[in-house]
Every structure is written in structure tokens, then in C-alpha cells.
């Protein structure tokens, strides 16, 4: 990861300047900071306002290989996600879940098929619009070596202290922040206060709540969480997913169970799709993921 790109941006933050495109670009890589960006914006790309997006997501027959002409990592993946619904994507390690997330955030372009937000091919959107429409929280969210308040204000530079606190409360991280001697002024990141993995993810959720995107993509932490953290995470997610399309790459049963639709991936393909009850009764791939010994 190239940290040098961050310093000018931290400088911007300090001086209170706001350069919209820079911020949008930065927000874009914020949660996928260590991923290469290999795509280009079309000269006639269109801008959309997130407020005007309903948030329907269509993944249409998508095939993708990391190496041109190589073995595809995703094959003919089709998922129709109605606006406002919550979809959980599950599957064995290496089945292509995170790769699908990269394509949704357009870190790579599909080789075949298309991904559309409200019917618009994401390749036709300005990258700044894409950033505003899709909020991403990854397994390893990045925190700037700056105060908690500054980290949150990256999402919304003009946010008031009350707005920061409200977002932190919704993300179930306010109590931990307020217990610190310096509260929201506490410096975090590589050289500051170290939050645990679960706390970092909730801080990233707070950041995304401030950005308020109509579509949310969440790659859940794989590691097991203790019961209290698990409950805090579930409450934070419920707050965040309310009223927006939520796509969760899910590792926790509580997230999967409450989803409107579960998509099961296997070796780069969608093999099952349905609610928890229906898939469990079906006794197929989903059922054996839950109870491996029965397979």
C-alpha cells in the first residue's frame, strides 16, 4: 500500500480545503486502498446524484478473469437485487465473493455481461458518482493517522460534532470513543490508538453512515467475534442497512439469516439463491455450508 498518496490529502484536511474530485477519488480507494485501480472513466461518463438513485443492483451474466484469457474467477454470475433489499453472499473460501465486490466497486471491469445500478451500466458512470452511490466497508478498513473526528469527517467534511456522535452511536462505537480520555480528538491509525478489528469496522460503518450512500457493500470480517461484539455489529448493520440496498459478503449466521435473499457461490458460479428457510429445507449447498458434516 502506498502511503505517500495520503499525505497531500491529510494536508487538505488540515487546511480545511475541500476539493470534491480529490475527495471522491480518495473515498473510492479509501476502503480498497491496497487494490490497484485499472479502470478508466469514459470521456462522456454521466454524473448521477445519490439522492435520485433508488439503489437497484443488477448483475447480469458476469464473467471475469484476473488474467486476460485466463481461467475465469467468476462465470455467468447473475443476481437481481431490488432497491432497498438485503442480500447475503455466502460460499466457501475462494468461491469469488470478494472478487464480485471488487467488480461492484469497479476496481476491475467485467469481461462479459454487465453490472447496473438503477439500470445504468456502471461503466457509463463517472467514478465520483460511483463513489457516492456505493459505500464499501471492507474486512480491513483503513484509518488515517489522524483524530477520530478527522477520520469521520473524511466522509462528510462539514459534519457537525452532533452528526459525528449520531453516526458513531448508530454504528455502536460511541461508547468506546467517549470512554477515551481525548474522545473524538484521539489520534488513531498506524501511529495512534489501536482499535480492535471489530471496532475499526464499526468506525468504518460510522464513516459510511455519514456518507449516506443508497447502496452498501459490506465484506464481513471472517474472524469469529465475541458475543457482545457480534451483537454490537448486528445492531450497527441494522441501522446502516435501513432504507438502502445492502449487499453483505457474510460470514456470520445472524447476518445471513436476516437477509431477504441468500446467494450461494461455488467455484465462481451462483449455485443457489433463496431465503434461509427455503435453502435450508432444500438441503443443498447452503444446508451443507451450515452443517458441513451432513454433506
Ligand X SMILES: Nc1ncnc2c1ncn2[C@@H]1O[C@H](COP(=O)(O)OP(=O)(O)OP(=O)(O)O)[C@@H](O)[C@H]1O
Q: Least distance to ligand X from the beta carbon of 126, Å?
A: 25
Assess contact for 234 and 254: CB atoms under 8 A.
yes
Question: Cα separation of 268 and 65, whole Å?
Answer: 10
* Residue 94 binds ligand X (CB under 6 A): yes
Q: Is 33 exposed, middle or buried (0-12, 13-18, 19+ CB in 10 A)?
A: middle
Q: Which helix (H) or strand (E) holds 87?
A: strand 86-91
* Residue 98 binds ligand X (CB under 6 A): yes
Assess contact for 233 and 181: CB atoms under 8 A.
no
Assess contact for 121 and 58: CB atoms under 8 A.
no
Q: At residue 246, what are phi and psi to the nearest 5 degrees?
A: -125, 125
Question: Cα separation of 284 and 272, whole Å?
Answer: 8
Which one, 132 or 220, has the nearer CB to ligand X? 220
- DSSP letter at 122? G
Question: Cα separation of 47 and 54, whole Å?
Answer: 15
- Mark the segment that binds ligand X (CB under 6 A) among 91-99, 123-131, 145-153, 176-184: 91-99
Nearest residue to Mg ion, scored by beta-carbon proximity: 98
Which one, 30 or 102, has the nearer CB to ligand X? 102
Q: Least distance to ligand X from the beta carbon of 146, Å?
A: 29
- Mark the segment that binds ligand X (CB under 6 A) among 47-55, 56-64, 94-102, 283-291: 94-102
For ligand X, the binding residues in 28-87 under the rule CB under 6 A are 66, 73
Which one, 95 or 245, has the nearer CB to ligand X? 95
- Mark the segment that binds ligand X (CB under 6 A) among 96-104, 161-169, 195-203, 275-283: 96-104
Question: Cα separation of 279 and 196, whole Å?
Answer: 34
Q: Is 236 exposed, middle or buried (0-12, 13-18, 19+ CB in 10 A)?
A: buried
Size of the site for ligand X (CB under 6 A): 10
* Residue 255 binds ligand X (CB under 6 A): no
Which one, 26 or 108, has the nearer CB to ligand X? 108
- Mark the segment that binds ligand X (CB under 6 A) among 12-20, 90-98, 121-129, 186-194: 90-98
Task: Select the binding partner of residue 248 from ligand X, Mg ion, none (C-beta < 5 to 8 A, by kind).
Answer: none
Which one, 97 or 244, has the nearer CB to ligand X? 97
Which one, 49 or 223, has the nearer CB to Mg ion? 223
Q: How far is CA 92 from the centre of its chain?
A: 19
Task: Select the binding partner of residue 99 from Mg ion, ligand X, none (C-beta < 5 to 8 A, by kind).
Answer: ligand X
Which one, 75 or 207, has the nearer CB to ligand X? 75
Question: Cα separation of 86 and 12, whole Å?
Answer: 36
Q: Is 125 exposed, middle or buried (0-12, 13-18, 19+ CB in 10 A)?
A: buried
Note the residues at the interface with ligand X (CB under 6 A).
66, 73, 91, 93-99
Amino acid at each position: 500500500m502506498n502511503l505517500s498518496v495520503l499525505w497531500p490529502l491529510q494536508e487538505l484536511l488540515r487546511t480545511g480545503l475541500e476539493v470534491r474530485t480529490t475527495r471522491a477519488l480518495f473515498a473510492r480507494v479509501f476502503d480498497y486502498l491496497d487494490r490497484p485501480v485499472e479502470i478508466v472513466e469514459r470521456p462522456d461518463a454521466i454524473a448521477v446524484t445519490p439522492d435520485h438513485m433508488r439503489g437497484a443492483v443488477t448483475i447480469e451474466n458476469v464473467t471475469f478473469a484476473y488474467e486476460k484469457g485466463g481461467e475465469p474467477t467468476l462465470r455467468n454470475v447473475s443476481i437481481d437485487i431490488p432497491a432497498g433489499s438485503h442480500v447475503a453472499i455466502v460460499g466457501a473460501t475462494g468461491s469469488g465473493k470478494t472478487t464480485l465486490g471488487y467488480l461492484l466497486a469497479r476496481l476491475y471491469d467485467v469481461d462479459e455481461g454487465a453490472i447496473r445500478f438503477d439500470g445504468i451500466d456502471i461503466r457509463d458512470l463517472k467514478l465520483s458518482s460511483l463513489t457516492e452511490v456505493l459505500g464499501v466497508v471492507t474486512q480491513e478498513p483503513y484509518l488515517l493517522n489522524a483524530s477520530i473526528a478527522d477520520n469521520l469527517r473524511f466522509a462528510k467534511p462539514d459534519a457537525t460534532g452532533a452528526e459525528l456522535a449520531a453516526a458513531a452511536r448508530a454504528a455502536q462505537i460511541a461508547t468506546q470513543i467517549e470512554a477515551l480520555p481525548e474522545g473524538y480528538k484521539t489520534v488513531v491509525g498506524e501511529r495512534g490508538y489501536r482499535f480492535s478489528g471489530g471496532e475499526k469496522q464499526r468506525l468504518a460503518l460510522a464513516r459510511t453512515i455519514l456518507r449516506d450512500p443508497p447502496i452498501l457493500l459490506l465484506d464481513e470480517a471472517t474472524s469469529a467475534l465475541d458475543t457482545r461484539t457480534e451483537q454490537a455489529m448486528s445492531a450497527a448493520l441494522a441501522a446502516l442497512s435501513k432504507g438502502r440496498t445492502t449487499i453483505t459478503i457474510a460470514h456470520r449466521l445472524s447476518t445471513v439469516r436476516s437477509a431477504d435473499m441468500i446467494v450461494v457461490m461455488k467455484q465462481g458460479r451462483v449455485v443457489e439463491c433463496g431465503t434461509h428457510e427455503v435453502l435450508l429445507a432444500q438441503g443443498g449447498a447452503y444446508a451443507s455450508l451450515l452443517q458441513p458434516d451432513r454433506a
